Amino acid sequence: MKKIFKNLAQSLALKAGAMLVPQPQHALWQYQRLALLAEAAELYRETLPHTGATGYVFSFNRPVQLHACLASYFHHAANPVPLVVQYEATYPEAAKVYGEVEALMKDKPVTFVKETTCRDTFLATFAKVATRKVFFLMDDIVFLNPVDMAQFTGIDPLAFVPTLRMHPGLSRCYTMNAPQPPPATLAPSKTHVPMLQWTWGDAGNEWDDPMSLDGNLFDTAEVMMIARASIWKAPNSLESAMKGFAAAMRPRPGLCYAKPVLVNNPCNRVQTEVDNRAGEESAFSPEQFLAAWAKGQRIHFEALAGTSTTGPHQEFPFGFIAR
């Protein structure tokens, strides 16, 4: 009977384009792929001339929210590191505002890159990143509290996984709509930075997600090797591909600040890869943001300064002020 169920499961897996493998074989494959990642990343790392960091921002049809992300970053960040913005607009109004946002940022260390296809543009653009460290942001992020980016990016991502999204006050996972208490291991870091440290996996949901693209600091070479080797087409599937290598990161303790540095405000959803929860409490469409921008207004991100969050994703009502 056991053999019958095994054969049936294998048949169903094959029809789904998958394959069942024994646990020892799976463990061996996992070890091999992580070993290959480490070796390839080491070789690529030697080609990167700068030990500093780069911030990489993804934006799709949300130029007004992107402006709030960038403006709040430069408002709150001491020693801000340069940013690269990869963006796409599928209709003229959004494309026009992206151009206006770029013009407003002309005096800041921001490079805008219009994408053709997300993966191709990313691989070509990311290959030009010369720093050994990188963090990612999405255009629905708003910075809430001051942060010294020189301190944050000075941490070795091969020894730790520093993050701007977590803090000890988190109590709920928005995406899973579930409680999310902090791990029992959360304690002052033994490093030279005034951050808190925990062990990935000692608590669930986002406390066990070292591969988030929402403000985690990574080794550039590791990201490049994963992105090149994986099949993905947009930020959500890139993040999913990176989660497949989470076993390489989990031995590195997580580091977070005592207060929230940033938050994702999921008031709308523009991507179609994943049916993420969004806009259930404070829905605000990209078109409404564009209408406000056309009136000479922008998101009043300063009104959220100092806000305490219950999760890395949390909906807040947006206000507007004159640009």
Q: Does residue 27 form part of some domain?
A: no
Instruction: Find out whether 215 and 262 touch, Cβ atoms under 8 Å.
Output: yes
pTM of the prediction? 0.89
- Residues 228-254 pLDDT 10s: 999 999 999 999 999 999 999 999 999
Domains identified in the chain, total number: 1
Q: Does residue 205 form part of some domain?
A: yes
Instruction: Find out whether 215 and 143 touch, Cβ atoms under 8 Å.
Output: no
Q: pLDDT value at position 8? A: 32
Q: Does residue 106 form part of some domain?
A: yes
Q: pLDDT value at position 12? A: 34
Q: Does residue 26 form part of some domain?
A: no
* 261-246-184 Cα angle (round to 5): 60
Pairing between strand 161-162 and 297-299?
unpaired
Q: pLDDT value at position 3? A: 46
Q: Does residue 299 form part of some domain?
A: yes
Range of the domain at 170: 40-322
Q: Does residue 100 form part of some domain?
A: yes
Q: In the chain, which residues have pLDDT < 50? A: 1-21, 278-279
Domain at 111, CATH number: 3.90.550.10
Two tokens, residue 243: 């989660």
Q: Does residue 91 form part of some domain?
A: yes
Residue 246 to residue 105: CA distance in whole angstroms = 35
Q: pLDDT value at position 275? A: 60
Tell me if residue 89 falls in helix, strand or coil.
coil
Residue 36 to residue 225: CA distance in whole angstroms = 9
Tell me if residue 265 falls in helix, strand or coil.
coil
Q: pLDDT value at position 15? A: 42
Q: pLDDT value at position 26? A: 60
Q: Does residue 31 form part of some domain?
A: no
- Residues 11-69 pLDDT 10s: 433 344 444 446 666 677 777 878 888 999 999 999 999 999 999 999 999 999 999 99
Encoded amino acid at 300, one letter: H
Residue 247 to residue 264: CA distance in whole angstroms = 25
